[in-house]
Structure 1
């Protein structure tokens, strides 16, 4: 008779059981008058992430959104119905200030450290509600810097509110059928109207489609080239609550992130207001991308941390070949190797976060500003790829149990694939690194950083790549990916 039942892995307080996060908070806030208050708050969040938030995330993931195209009387309504748990996770994000904390700047240049540390705890227990929060934060930053109209200033207040009843989220509509990386192929037209502009075109991949506003790229009649796109502020609904000349065709049937509504839609004269200079939308939207890419990095390492926590817990209770597997030499080495890899990702990510915080607080140096430009795409691509590898190893560590859907483990890997692709694939971001070091000052910063490395192989490879890139900028692109990985490894060598 079969009487054996394996003890399942258990997630416990995700702050108290995370030495790296505890060390980060202590090192940055040890001299702050509110140190005890801050650590107490993180302890509360760590408990919620292991209990209430996690349970809500499980339930939300089992109830994917549904598109209701028509009401019972045949009227086109295009209503996206999400679960009650998804809405609760949104309310929690608002109440805890997952976005708002970055804009109150209570801790000056360290405000982003506090806010992103909260996001790190929240993400893996949010059913990926962190995705609309990323775009919301990016939109808030653009509106804070460039918002001019009463509608834009009002939106900023909603995006940064801690009141769930008044909190808004924002979408980010760039991808069209022609693709998402080469935005010069975008076909959306922005026609001038008496009140601003009206957008006409199809957006092929729009996440957070239930948001109140979105940022979108479009081409005006005055554009002199395909690359001259402008950025627009788009309210999704009118005063009556109906969609603003927006038709939602279908929800995407995705590999993962099943609780997150992602849609295909057509803009058919959608009212919009331009943000920033006409024809410079790609440059303007870079403000959003800097934030969303760092969000992506935080969410990637959060996901990897969750997989590691599951495997560490399982390894202490799974018995094989005469002992628990945590005591088996080869498995023990695997766990140590994975934790060491994770530490490097954690250091790299929060280094980028610290630079973003300094930039927003106005305390960043010229060298740090250029470093932030080059390290942001590198951090995003590296943390995503390496977190995917860590999660894959963790799932393998469960053996056959890791392949069983209702353990929740396969979803970790599927959802992680979104982080690898979103906000730039590895190749796209590697080429972005090359663009950043076209600036002579940025090139010299990276050159000096490699010279300071004690790894001679690292220096030799950098010299080889730099020579190839300078000799032939087009063919030199072939080494961009290797250079991006090398740069990430360089900046992750030690805690910042």
Structure 2
């Protein structure tokens, strides 16, 4: 019989995740950890089972049926089995509810995002509407709209699948995604005084959601973003038919194919203003902050899954007489992936802790501008990193990594959306510059970094890495201070600046944990990851010739 290469396998993804378990041991009180571990063990086991199950069954995608046999417009959308299962899991495990009124207090976000991290890859991208639901809950709460809070919030936070609602986010039009100032959707009051929306939404993610938040321009309002209002919709009637909405088509996407994204036409869809009939972009800002944090959690979940598969495969695949895991060059590859992932993990959960404290009102004043800066930083870096790591993971499998039914190409395709959703890297880099204005956020960033490094500098074997982080950070700050706030040089370097700020703080968070792990657990692995991550260089910002970008950007025959 010819040779058959054993495939990579997954064990319980909570039990096998040294990074997550060590982090939770350091961060949570023993009683708090015991309180949530049943959820984490269950989701870790489900992740392993779901991976093997999906490899055995045929791939499926949502199906859109515009008309029924009588010619009646129905726009029925059939969802995939994994998508339907994830809705039940999300409700029962409280993947949204865990962040609200948690017995863990301001650490409820840590519990929630630990569960999301374990479930993301197994969820068939159901984490997308969950992120929007969490964001909608935060947005409605911040609005103070009592009627909508009482109407929607109990459903968003329900742990009963029969009453659990998910929310969509209907912003993107053909005029563009990041610049909403040209939004063409019109809001018009009918003869009964009820607002109705008219227009085309070019990309509605999770179109099948129970509610949605949408931007529209009230009739008679002026141009620009400030004249937009934020509206709440319940797109379907109790019988499932749409309320004056037509689905043009489901979007044919590179990845996230089980997630039903659509082009829709609003033909007088009933809606209710969330707040005032203006400043809708400002009203939706709390939602974007939440969804960007979810994006970062999903990014590190993708990294972790790919590395877990690559590591298991390296121990099964024998080449040149030895397992791949014993080949020095392959060891280097896996070690570099692990170091980048561990740094990203600790920055993401450091941000989650700050988010929980700010929302619970237990944060120090400086934490508010720090969170405002961290949100774009953590999203932009981890989104790009997830794509790079997923691509390298496919290489770890050689030709097998390019074969569809291994499940590996889907990891890369699904990762590619992470730098795009909720703001591209360039959009978030400009958001970083806005967050830095006034100096409060940068001061908070420096204070946070110093506090993290102070916990690591006395640890044996980490002092050199701590010095290197300080040196790189100082160079970065000097570069920033040498550019005027509105200079073209500052904007052209915004991406590298943002990545440098993210990587320097990530290194600091990883070093802090490494010192704790050496002292308490006697485990050298986090320290090894920290040294390797820092040695790879944290700041890649260089001065550029001022005309080069202009010349090359307009390169035509």
* TM-score tier after normalising by the smaller chain length: over 0.9
Among 497, 505, 524, the residue aligned to 1:491: 505
RMSD over equivalenced CA pairs, Å:
1.9
Q: What aligned pairs does 1:320-331 form with structure 2 within 5 A after superposition?
A: 320-331=319-330
**TM-score, normalising length: structure 1:** 0.95
Deviation of residue 370 (structure 1)? Answer: 0.6
- Secondary structure at the counterpart of residue 100 of structure 2: helix
Deviation of residue 31 (structure 1)? Answer: 3.9
**TM-score, normalising length: structure 2:** 0.85
Structure 1 unaligned regions, length at least 5: none
Among 199, 212, 236, the residue aligned to 1:214: 212
* Cα distance in 1 between the residues matched to 2:80 and 2:121: 18
* Cα distance in 2 between the residues matched to 1:238 and 1:334: 53
Q: Report what 1:283 is aligned to.
A: 282
Deviation of residue 440 (structure 1)? Answer: 3.1
Conserved in 2, the CA contact under 8 Å of 1:60 and 1:259?
no
Q: What aligned pairs does 1:85-124 form with structure 2 within 5 A after superposition?
A: 85-124=82-121
Deviation of residue 238 (structure 1)? Answer: 3.1
Among 478, 500, 503, the residue aligned to 1:463: 478
Q: Report what 2:457 is aligned to.
A: none
1:357 aligns with 2:372: no
Q: What aligned pairs does 1:227-246 form with structure 2 within 5 A after superposition?
A: 227-228=225-226, 229-246=228-245
Conserved in 2, the CA contact under 8 Å of 1:98 and 1:118?
yes
* Cα distance in 2 between the residues matched to 1:48 and 1:238: 33
* Cα distance in 2 between the residues matched to 1:181 and 1:204: 13
1:78 aligns with 2:78: no
1:201 aligns with 2:199: yes
Structure 2 unaligned regions, length at least 5: 454-465, 513-557
Q: What aligned pairs does 1:369-408 form with structure 2 within 5 A after superposition?
A: 369-408=368-407
Q: Report what 1:251 is aligned to.
A: 250
Deviation of residue 360 (structure 1)? Answer: 1.5
Deviation of residue 35 (structure 1)? Answer: 3.4
Moved more, 160-169 or 75-84: 75-84
- Secondary structure at the counterpart of residue 110 of structure 1: helix
Deviation of residue 197 (structure 1)? Answer: 1.5
* Cα distance in 1 between the residues matched to 2:326 and 2:497: 38
- Secondary structure at the counterpart of residue 174 of structure 1: strand
* Cα distance in 1 between the residues matched to 2:249 and 2:144: 32
- Secondary structure at the counterpart of residue 420 of structure 1: coil
* Cα distance in 1 between the residues matched to 2:301 and 2:472: 31
Moved more, 153-162 or 291-300: 153-162
* Cα distance in 2 between the residues matched to 1:41 and 1:84: 22
Conserved in 2, the CA contact under 8 Å of 1:142 and 1:288?
yes
* Cα distance in 2 between the residues matched to 1:192 and 1:466: 50
Q: Report what 1:29 is aligned to.
A: 28
* Cα distance in 1 between the residues matched to 2:205 and 2:85: 18
Deviation of residue 457 (structure 1)? Answer: 3.6
Conserved in 1, the CA contact under 8 Å of 2:39 and 2:115?
no
Change (3 A) 1:56 1:130: farther
Change (3 A) 1:4 1:354: same
Change (3 A) 1:215 1:448: same
Deviation of residue 60 (structure 1)? Answer: 8.6
Change (3 A) 1:249 1:482: same
Conserved in 2, the CA contact under 8 Å of 1:170 and 1:214?
yes
Deviation of residue 106 (structure 1)? Answer: 1.8
- Secondary structure at the counterpart of residue 210 of structure 1: coil
**Matched pairs, number:** 492
